[in-house]
Amino acid sequence: MNRPERPVLVVIAHGSRDPRHAATVHALVRKVRAQRPGLRVETAFLDFNIPSVPGVLNSLAAEGVRDVVALPLLLTRAFHAKSDIPAVLRQAPSRLRIRLAEVLGPSPLLTAALERRLYEAGLTPADRSRTGVVLASAGSTDPEAIAVIAAIAREWRHTGWCAVRPAFASASLPRTEDAVRELRDLGCERVAVAPYVLAPGFLPDRIARGAAGADVLADVLGPAPEVARVLLERYDEARTPSLAAVGA
């Protein structure tokens, strides 16, 4: 008996005018493919870049593909996850059975990726107790998304860092530079900024400028192996029959 084909994974990124964004997304997708050979993974963008989400879905339908897992390349459930992506998926060809995966965060693997980037930037595990960390995200007007970032910071603090403070590049306060000053005032010997963002762009650049007073600025999460593992976890979760299909 032939085994049913696995659904195609369509990774949906926001897109950006900054070419570094798309390059980083493609690097992450290559890492996902390397971690699971044989899984077909396609990349689509909501805006600014190609291929577009409708373009990818129409191409898959034309090939005869039936099952798709659409995975938002987002760290929190804010406007794009709640509105934009479901709206574009509802316009997909009717022959496609699309399951919408959850956003990536929160996840212990993402926290591990943040620490990987901090250590790559020069910190060591021995620095934890004297280092305050700014968890710097893009920001959102969505209270749920803001609450998630605050919760991640609280939980991360309990793993041995001197202190962890959330910060936001837009829409919410405090800004990165304000959180850096707060950690200095708390008496942390060193201050590090950990961007909780997936790819370079306008808001990550704002985070970097706000980190001017810090001792360490980590890189964006990008194609960290832990991030690729989260994508595959979300894909596997979305394949379970208990999740309702979109457009089925």
DSSP 99: E
pLDDT value at residue 2: 47
pLDDT in tens, 171-204: 889 999 999 999 999 999 999 999 999 999 999 9
- Is residue 244 over pLDDT 80? no
Please, which pLDDT band fits residue 11 given cuts at 50, 70 and 90?
A: very high
Collapsing DSSP to helix, strand or coil, 18 comes out as coil
Rounded to two decimals, the pTM is: 0.94
pLDDT value at residue 81: 86
Please, which pLDDT band fits residue 78 given cuts at 50, 70 and 90?
A: confident
What are the residue ranges of helices labelled H in 75-196? Answer: 79, 85-89, 108-120, 143-157, 176-186
- Is residue 3 over pLDDT 70? no
pLDDT in tens, 79-123: 778 889 999 999 999 999 999 999 999 999 999 999 999 999 999
Using an 8 Å Cβ cutoff, are 14 and 45 in contact? yes
pLDDT value at residue 241: 59
Using an 8 Å Cβ cutoff, are 230 and 110 in contact? yes
CA distance 103 to 111: 15
Residue 233 structure tokens: 């976890």
If we measure between CA atoms, which residue out of 220, 226, 179 comes closest to residue 202? 220
C-alpha pair distances (Å), 147 with each of 56, 152, 154: 33, 9, 11
CA distance 218 to 211: 10
> What mean pLDDT is predicted for residues 147-166?
97
> What mean pLDDT is predicted for residues 156-174?
96
What are the residue ranges of helices labelled H in 121-220? Answer: 143-157, 176-186, 202-210
pLDDT value at residue 83: 87
Using an 8 Å Cβ cutoff, are 9 and 69 in contact? yes
Please identify which residue in the block is written with the tokens 């968890």: 135
Residues with Cβ within 8 Å of residue 183, at least 6 apart in sequence: 132, 133, 134, 162, 163, 165, 191
pLDDT value at residue 246: 46
